[in-house]
Structure 1
């Protein structure tokens, strides 16, 4: 039996859900491209170019779009169009995407959700069971920086049950406009500016950005008794807030002996966790990521008082009184 991740939400491909990504405000009363049970066993759709309703305002990438009502009957297939072609990384299945989007009903043009007004892009994984199949198939092969419009029939949306909370019927075709802001996979790394590591009393962390695990060299001295959180690579994104969740790569070792107790590098997965929930598990790590910029690699040294103390996880290299050392790449915050 696979041991539960020490970071609660290390997510293999296909297991992350929208509920784990967003805050309560963004998910409580709106429909989003989150999993639909009815879409889990259907065959792949045929992808066609239209019909698709016109975008009548907000036509630039990143602007909140206004979309006309669908004209006539929508296609029974998945209609997809690249409205604006980006030049970034090509998105593949099981990647995480960061996107702004607007969703409305074909027949009525009723907007049931959009991320533009919240000013908080959505982060989710294009994996079976993690997002409606319409998104999963429509966004594969698209490039970061693209605006994509799609019309999703119920079969690849919320199924015959619809989404009553959002006013979506089981017969509704849904129209989405999606601005692809970024994408991440298990080989992603922070890309920030290198910060000098001059304190000989602290571990030195590698600065490679090729998706491989960075080295962590622990000095032959006693560990600090207070929390340490320092930039190794400083990104230029917004600072992580205490009420957000983050998507990250990480490596965790114990100070004494330098043994790795867990890492995402080389595992085919990323880690995603709520900072608030992490407060209940590893208070020092939650405090260490708070206030740090997205796109950064940080060194976090967690003393026992802010870690597991005298109650370490059973069966591992973490012992009573262990000081923990993390190298953590903050890929996205949501």
Structure 2
């Protein structure tokens, strides 16, 4: 998988400049791991409950908030307060956190970034050094449905250098309101309605949604000559576009013999990639499918790796995948 900078996937206002993947690769495969994460500061972080500025409008979960200026001097510690308590899954270190947020400067209330106006939450790894340390320290352990307010001192934000692109000085304390929309980890699965699999000439895929790898039973028959893309579980999300970046669980086996050659379940790590950077069978087979779905793909050699052998994949192989489309990034 091409290691691409997460700056392309997450608004610049939240990212550290370190820990971004390089952009060098050979031919991209579906299924490689996300970029290696960086590290947050090892020093102990004190978390306090305030002071924090008032939310003066947009007080409900999912509403764009209006936040007052900071009241007096901010704490030198990380201030964290849960404004609305959710009841969903707990955010774990290394998860891909899906969140709406607004960020502004303590002393001026100047908003430097927000996802609400973009009309879609951001998704990024949490707790592993891919966002500013204040986020990593504050949001691991929160629940889906939480609205959290943060006041992040410079040392846990952008440090003494600040972030000139966002208009943040090295002395600025940052205030965020964060709505935790969802969290995705190694046990995440498609969520939707199972679709009948009545074609005996096609592989049958398990419909379990417990985070375990679904079974793939390949028939003892000739492989189809054309690409197959069928729902196993049909989700209710938006349709995937050709230019989207996806977050997925998947498993791949060979048509001949059914041997597994790649799996996010085996690695315990989700895959994220641009649909334009994977094999043709994935590009054609996943575009138009709904987020939240599990999709069976049977990829003939011409839309896979052709006559070029890959690790665990002989030349001229027909490939069978089950792909859970968890989110568009």
For normalisation by structure 2, the TM-score amounts to: 0.90
Task: Write the mapping of 1:184-223 to structure 2, written as runs, cut at 5 A.
Answer: 184-223=184-223
Displacement of 1:39 after TM fit? 7.6
Displacement of 1:40 after TM fit? 3.6
Assess, with a 3 A threshold, how the Cα gap between structure 1 residues 270 and 176 changes in structure 2: closer, same or farther: same
Displacement of 1:221 after TM fit? 1.1
Task: Write the mapping of 1:43-192 to structure 2, written as runs, cut at 5 A.
Answer: 43-192=43-192
Displacement of 1:8 after TM fit? 4.1
Pick the aligned partner of 2:323 from 313, 328, 334: 328
For 1:268 and 1:74, locate their aligned partners in 2 and report how far apart those are by CA, in whole Å.
40
Partner of residue 285, structure 2: 288
Verify: 1:33 aligned to 2:14, yes or no.
yes
Verify: 1:318 aligned to 2:316, yes or no.
no
Structure with larger RCO (C-alpha < 8 A, sep 6+): 1
2:119 is paired with a residue whose SS is coil
For 1:125 and 1:163, locate their aligned partners in 2 and report how far apart those are by CA, in whole Å.
21
Any idea what the Cα deviations from partners look like across 1:279-315, whole Å, max 9, x if unmatched?
A: xxx01112211111111111011111111111232xx
For 1:108 and 1:283, locate their aligned partners in 2 and report how far apart those are by CA, in whole Å.
50
Q: Note if contact 2:58-2:65 (Cα within 8 Å) is conserved in structure 1.
A: yes
Q: Note if contact 1:240-1:293 (Cα within 8 Å) is conserved in structure 2.
A: yes
For 2:95 and 2:175, locate their aligned partners in 1 and report how far apart those are by CA, in whole Å.
22
Any idea what the Cα deviations from partners look like across 1:118-167, whole Å, max 9, x if unmatched?
A: 11211011132211111111112211011111011111111111111111
Structure 2: 5+ residue runs without aligned partners?
19-37
Q: Note if contact 1:36-1:159 (Cα within 8 Å) is conserved in structure 2.
A: no
2:180 is paired with a residue whose SS is strand
For 1:294 and 1:219, locate their aligned partners in 2 and report how far apart those are by CA, in whole Å.
28
Aligned-pair Cα RMSD in Å:
1.7
Q: How many residues align?
A: 310
Assess, with a 3 A threshold, how the Cα gap between structure 1 residues 254 and 300 changes in structure 2: closer, same or farther: same
Task: Write the mapping of 1:263-282 to structure 2, written as runs, cut at 5 A.
Answer: 263-278=263-278, 282=279
2:83 is paired with a residue whose SS is strand
Partner of residue 13, structure 1: none
Assess, with a 3 A threshold, how the Cα gap between structure 1 residues 269 and 175 changes in structure 2: closer, same or farther: same
Structure 1: 5+ residue runs without aligned partners?
1-6, 10-15
Any idea what the Cα deviations from partners look like across 1:237-277, whole Å, max 9, x if unmatched?
A: 11111221111110011111111111011322111111122
Any idea what the Cα deviations from partners look like across 1:88-126, whole Å, max 9, x if unmatched?
A: 111121121111111111111111111111112110111
1:112 is paired with a residue whose SS is strand
For 1:8 and 1:39, locate their aligned partners in 2 and report how far apart those are by CA, in whole Å.
21
Q: Note if contact 2:41-2:133 (Cα within 8 Å) is conserved in structure 1.
A: no
